[in-house]
């Protein structure tokens, strides 16, 4: 049956083909004097308000939790919104007009004035800079990496951005820091001023904007905000798509990712209800540093554990989404009830420093009897499976790059891969389900099994670019879902059967049957 899926293309390919046919006008090109009256943003070229692949017939509507958009014939108005918790309290208005058309003077209603601090952009933008690794994954998925003209290479993981920066296609500069760790943007901004025709600087809301230019070219991008859940983070691809006139592509991609995420989550829940996978296991996101231990249950972290059929540790009686334990004893008492520890602790250049011995010692787990230390009852995962090479070619005075983790770049736009990678380690490796293939981002590694860190370098660009362009990662996920659906529908199962999982594999005969099925 697995062989029968080799010709299966993911729905995304079909959706993108429909996108290409559905475009009513090519707004990737600029308007000319003969284009008067053209509607550059008809329904097919607009964002959808939800996880549907098509556009919208409405002129004004909310798109997810973070922004809304209004369309006119020659321009669109994007307004960001404050999220719960006030992290995005500084609301912004961006007016995006089709290149070649006049800059609008009134809002889409034809009479209202724009706010005095509104920022205007001619779209699609052609030249972009960012110091944020978060934005890189979105740009690549939108097919807009060619627009990236300058970045801070300190932590960038993308092998193709590494290649372009090392070859001088992308300008490299970096943020310096003052003695109080506030940003000194002088060097960065001087380099920005040297970029001819720069249209846009992607920044955020922290400390005046990480890597900001201090001009009206700054666009605040909040995909990593803790108030957004996993799929809301992915949905922010729609926000960036507005500046590139790639709404149709963003609609199709987001719809595909939501479906894949929900399918895998429902499949795991079904397997647990059948007794095929254990229920009731707890995961904890832990950061250890210098004898201080903190757990976090931010929305997106809880989403990952919950979708994988686990319960996320959250300290009772604590408001917010994190808790620092008052003592080592309190921390270890909590960890005694946790099977899956996801270690977020910082290690400089993890490929050499985050060894099994070092991770156990930093977590204060050495010599402890804990569920996560025993391969039969749990595991310790880290988020540094894929790291960069630390950019050895960019080394100006006072610059100290380190290995950049794919975790801070790719999970935002690849939630289905995040869940597949996580579930494969927690549950599916015992069934013979293979790990995500080369060229596809991976995030988690099993520390107890001495699972190694994989470095990506500029030389890996061709493999990664081929996987992205030809949808190889999604094709693998499509094959995997067929295999898993058949796996959990094998005859002879019953609710009384012993649980089968990566953590507690007890049905040897069942596993042998699975392997025979896969071959």
Whether the ω angle into residue 124 lies within 30 degrees of 0, i.e. cis, is: yes
CA distance 508 to 206: 52
DSSP code, position 152: -
pLDDT value at 1 more than 60: no
Strand-pair category, 379-382 with 340-343: parallel
pLDDT value at 496 more than 70: no
Q: How far is CA 44 from CA 15, 19, 101, 336, in A?
A: 13, 8, 20, 54
DSSP code, position 393: T
pTM: 0.89
Quick one: pLDDT band at residue 391, thresholds 50, 70, 90? Answer: confident
pLDDT value at 393 more than 70: yes
Tell me the mean pLDDT in the region 89-95. Answer: 83
pLDDT value at 494 more than 80: no
pLDDT value at 171 more than 60: yes
The per-residue pLDDT for range 356-370, each reduced to its tens digit, is 999 999 999 999 999
Tell me the mean pLDDT in the region 158-183. Answer: 92
Tell me the mean pLDDT in the region 67-94. Answer: 82
What pLDDT was estimated at residue 72? 96
pLDDT value at 169 more than 50: yes
What pLDDT was estimated at residue 516? 32
What pLDDT was estimated at residue 90? 66
pLDDT value at 418 more than 90: yes
What pLDDT was estimated at residue 500? 32
pLDDT value at 506 more than 70: no
The per-residue pLDDT for range 224-249, each reduced to its tens digit, is 888 889 999 999 999 999 999 999 99
What pLDDT was estimated at residue 24? 63
Quick one: pLDDT band at residue 158, thresholds 50, 70, 90? Answer: very high
What whole-number percentage of the chain has pLDDT above 90? Answer: 73
Quick one: pLDDT band at residue 147, thresholds 50, 70, 90? Answer: very high
Element (H, E) at 129: strand 128-130
Tell me the mean pLDDT in the region 95-112. Answer: 95
Quick one: pLDDT band at residue 83, thresholds 50, 70, 90? Answer: low
The per-residue pLDDT for range 330-354, each reduced to its tens digit, is 999 999 999 999 999 999 999 999 9
Tell me the mean pLDDT in the region 510-519. Answer: 30
Tell me the mean pLDDT in the region 36-55. Answer: 92
What pLDDT was estimated at residue 196? 93
What pLDDT was estimated at residue 33? 81
What pLDDT was estimated at residue 20? 45
Tell me the mean pLDDT in the region 18-42. Answer: 78
Quick one: pLDDT band at residue 146, thresholds 50, 70, 90? Answer: very high
**For residue 381, what are the β-bridge partners?**
342, 446
Q: Are 421 and 436 in contact (CB under 8 A)?
A: yes
Strand-pair category, 119-123 with 454-455: unpaired
CA distance 458 to 104: 43
What pLDDT was estimated at residue 464? 96
- DSSP readout, 12-38? HHHHHHHHHHH-SS-TTS---GGGTT-
What pLDDT was estimated at residue 190? 95
Quick one: pLDDT band at residue 177, thresholds 50, 70, 90? Answer: confident
Axis crossing angle, helix 159-166 with helix 461-469, rounded to the nearest 10: 130
Residue with tokens 């100006």: 396
| R_g over Cα of the chain | 24
CB atoms within 10 A of CB 37: 6
Pick the residue with more confidence: 479 or 20? Answer: 479
Tell me the mean pLDDT in the region 189-207. Answer: 92
The per-residue pLDDT for range 431-477, each reduced to its tens digit, is 889 999 999 999 999 999 999 999 999 999 999 999 999 999 999 99
CA distance 447 to 366: 13
Residue with tokens 């049905």: 507
Quick one: pLDDT band at residue 16, thresholds 50, 70, 90? Answer: very low
Q: Are 172 and 165 in contact (CB under 8 A)?
A: yes
CB atoms within 10 A of CB 51: 18
DSSP code, position 428: G
Quick one: pLDDT band at residue 397, thresholds 50, 70, 90? Answer: confident
Quick one: pLDDT band at residue 394, thresholds 50, 70, 90? Answer: confident
What pLDDT was estimated at residue 99? 96
What pLDDT was estimated at residue 519? 32
Tell me the mean pLDDT in the region 109-128. Answer: 96
Tell me the mean pLDDT in the region 109-123. Answer: 96
CB atoms within 10 A of CB 364: 15
Most distant CA pair in the chain, distance: 76
């Amino acid at each position: 049956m697995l062989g029968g899926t080799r010709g299966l293309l993911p729905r995304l390919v079909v959706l993108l083909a429909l996108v290409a046919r559905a475009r009513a006008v090519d707004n990737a090109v600029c308007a000319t004097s003969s284009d008067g009256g053209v509607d550059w943003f008809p329904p097919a070229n607009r964002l959808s308000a939800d996880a549907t692949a098509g556009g919208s017939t409405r002129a004004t509507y909310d798109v997810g939790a973070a922004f809304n958009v209004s369309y006119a014939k020659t321009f669109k108005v994007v307004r960001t919104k404050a999220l719960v918790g006030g992290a995005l309290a500084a609301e912004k208005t961006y007016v995006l007009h089709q290149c070649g058309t006049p800059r609008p003077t009134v809002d889409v209603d034809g009479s209202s004035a724009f706010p005095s601090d509104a920022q205007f952009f001619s779209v699609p933008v052609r030249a972009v800079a960012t110091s944020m690794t978060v934005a890189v994954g979105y740009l690549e998925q939108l097919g807009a990496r060619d627009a990236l003209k300058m970045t801070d290479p300190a932590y960038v993981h993308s092998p193709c951005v590494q290649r372009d920066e090392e070859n001088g296609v992308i300008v490299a500069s970096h943020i310096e820091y003052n003695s109080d760790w506030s940003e000194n943007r002088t060097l960065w901004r001087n380099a920005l001023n040297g970029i001819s025709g720069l249209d846009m600087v992607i920044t955020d809301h922290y400390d005046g904007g990480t890597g900001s230019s201090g001009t009206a070219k700054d666009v605040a991008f909040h995909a990593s905000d803790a108030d957004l859940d996993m799929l809301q983070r992915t949905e922010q691809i729609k926000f960036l798509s507005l500046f590139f006139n790639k709404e149709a592509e963003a609609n199709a991609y987001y719809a595909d990712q939501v479906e894949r995420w929900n399918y895998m989550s429902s499949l795991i829940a079904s397997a647990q209800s059948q007794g095929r996978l254990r229920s009731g296991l707890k995961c904890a996101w832990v950061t250890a540093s210098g004898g201080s231990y903190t757990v976090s249950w931010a929305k997106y972290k809880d989403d990952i554990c919950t979708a994988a059929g686990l319960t996320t540790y959250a300290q009772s009686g604590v408001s917010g989404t994190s808790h620092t334990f008052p003592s080592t004893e309190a921390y270890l008492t909590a960890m005694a009830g946790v099977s899956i520890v996801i270690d977020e602790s910082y290690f400089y250049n993890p490929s050499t420093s985050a060894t099994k011995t070092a991770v156990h010692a930093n977590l204060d787990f050495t010599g402890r009897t804990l569920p996560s230390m025993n391969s039969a009852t749990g595991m310790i995962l880290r988020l540094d499976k894929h790291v960069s090479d630390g950019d050895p070619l960019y080394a100006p005075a006072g610059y100290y790059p380190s290995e950049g983790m794919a975790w801070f770049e790719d999970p935002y736009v690849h939630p289905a891969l995040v869940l597949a990678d996580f579930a494969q380690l927690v549950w599916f490796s015992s069934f013979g389900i293979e790990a995500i293939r080369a060229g596809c981002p991976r995030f988690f590694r099993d520390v107890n099994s001495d699972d190694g860190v994989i470095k990506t370098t500029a030389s890996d660009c061709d493999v990664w670019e081929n996987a992205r362009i030809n949808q190889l990662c999604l094709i693998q996920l499509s094959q995997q879902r067929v295999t898993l659906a058949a796996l959990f529908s094998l005859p002879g199962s019953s609710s009384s059967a012993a649980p089968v999982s990566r953590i507690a594999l007890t049905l040897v005969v069942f596993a042998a049957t699975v392997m025979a099925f896969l071959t």
